[in-house]
Amino acid sequence: MSTKELRSRREFLKDSSTIAAGAALASGLSLSIARSAHAQGGDTLRVALIGCGGRGNGAAANNLKACENTKIVAVADAFEAKAKNAAKNLGVSPEKTFWGLDSYQKAIDADCDMVIIATPPGFRPVQYAAAVAAGKHVFMEKPCCVDAPGYRKLVEANKMADEKGLKVGVGLQRRHNAGYVNGIKKIHDGKYGDLVCLQAYWNGGGIWWRKGQDDWTEIQKQVNNWYHFVWLSGDNICEQHVHNIDVCNWAKNAHPVEANGMGGSEMRRKQAGGPTQLFDHHFVEFTYPDGTKMYSQCRHVSNVFNRVAEYAFGTKGNGGMTDKGDVADVGGVPFKFGDYDQEHFALVEAIRKGTPYNEGHVGATSSFTAVLGRMATYSGKLIKWDEAVEKGSDLAPGIENFTFESPAPVQPDEDGQYPIAQPGLYNPFA
């Protein structure tokens, strides 16, 4: 997914919603909100931003644009410079600006009502569980996990969020796109009859690579260049293709029970600009409980055929998953914005109205579907969902205690290269 740099606070204030929030702040409005309840009426919703990279800054912008009377009151990032830059742009005080791998907990504890989690994906299950334990509403970017232990932690945290009445949004923005909402509704209403096959694509060009600083520790280098390490990103099948996989799960109202596939790294190191662990292509055959197949492709190779889309094939016809249609709202929340903004609008509306809202369940399921696919492509074996959940590898043991001085979960060889999975040799349960 492409990211945009955070607009300056002055630019934020040009939006009417942000003007309203700014006026509230200028008048000294600051009302305490019970952690297990929701903000009432025009009460200011206090938000902590955890992860101040491109997507974190983008999520903050989306929240401020779409939601009246929200205020970013704390920021946290692994790196000092990113935290301070976000704080400057968002008007956050130095006392509420935190950095380091443990800084997320400080932001959670900073008198906020809601947290935005936009850190590298490998850290998200631990941070989400901490936010829920503290009684905070959550917006969490996708993917929500990169391995089986992370998925299991998400499942438990989602249960706790439901028990506490907390509201949870996930950055699967297609679920807040009117075209997709209308298209999936028509599929559920029988537009294509009984679904027998699905296709999912995220085929695009290369991605960024960051060199980092020579004096950084190994784990600093990896966190800075997080996309290229499986324990941090889950590979591109998790980081990006999860969107298309989620749409297919949505259409089926189910998740696959097994997966087999193939993939490899043919051009990645040449095109990335430096060392990487990632495959540059994955092809997966997922099987749903009723036997329906989802054929999934994702690729990061320049100068080849590209496609980002999803298709359904049924007993009465076939076509794309989107439809212009006439859906006016989703879950009683009207469409007012583009999908990135809409997902924040819907979450905050649920917080203010106290209506049930927990996208953490679909976020966890679709994220682990992508993990299942990666386990299949890395190993070259048929992988069952239940076995993967129970026995899947822990990619970063002890991640909840990591610091920048900790040994990194993977280490470079003498040539500065990192291990890449070899189908037939890779053990997804090791």
Q: Per-residue pLDDT for the chain (430 aa), expressed as one digit of tens each?
A: 433 333 333 333 333 333 333 333 332 222 233 333 444 445 899 999 999 999 999 999 999 999 999 999 999 999 999 999 999 999 999 999 999 999 999 999 999 999 999 999 999 999 999 999 999 999 999 999 999 999 999 999 999 999 999 999 999 999 999 999 999 999 999 999 999 999 999 999 888 889 889 999 999 999 999 999 999 999 999 999 999 999 999 999 999 999 999 999 987 766 667 889 999 999 999 999 999 999 999 999 988 999 999 999 999 999 999 998 778 888 889 999 999 999 999 999 999 999 999 999 999 999 999 999 999 999 999 999 999 999 999 999 999 999 999 999 999 999 999 999 999 999 999 9
Alpha-carbon distance 230 to 277, whole Å? 7
The DSSP secondary structure of 272-341, one letter per residue, reads HSS-----SEEEEEEE-TTS-EEEEEEEE-TTS--EEEEEEEETTEEEES-------EETTEEP-S-HHH
Three-class SS of residue 332? coil
Q: For the CA atoms of 46, 175, 373, 190, what is the dihedral angle to 10 degrees? A: 160
Which of 77, 102, 106 is closest to 89 using CA atoms?
A: 77
| Element of type H or E holding 154 | helix 148-164
177-327+364-401: what fold?
Dihydrodipicolinate Reductase; domain 2 (3.30.360)
pLDDT digits (tens, 9 = 90+) for 179-201: 999 999 999 999 999 999 999 99
Per the DSSP assignment, residues forming a β-bridge with 418 are none
φ, ψ for residue 294, nearest 5 deg: -115, 120
Q: What is the C-alpha to C-alpha distance for residues 46 and 1, in angstroms, rounded to an integer?
A: 28
Token readout for 416 is 């500065």
Q: What is the largest CA-CA distance in the chain?
A: 64
Same fold? 9-174+329-359, 177-327+364-401: no
Q: Please, is 228 exposed, middle or buried when counting C-beta atoms within 10 Å of its C-beta (0-12, 13-18, 19+)?
A: buried
Alpha-carbon gap, residue 195 to 323, rounded angstroms: 17
Which superfamily does 9-174+329-359 belong to? NAD(P)-binding Rossmann-like Domain (3.40.50.720)
Instruction: List pLDDT tens digits, range 203-228.
Output: 998 888 898 899 999 999 999 999 99
**Residue appearing with tokens 């028990």:** 163
Domain ranges of the chain: 9-174+329-359, 177-327+364-401
First-to-last CA distance in the chain?
31
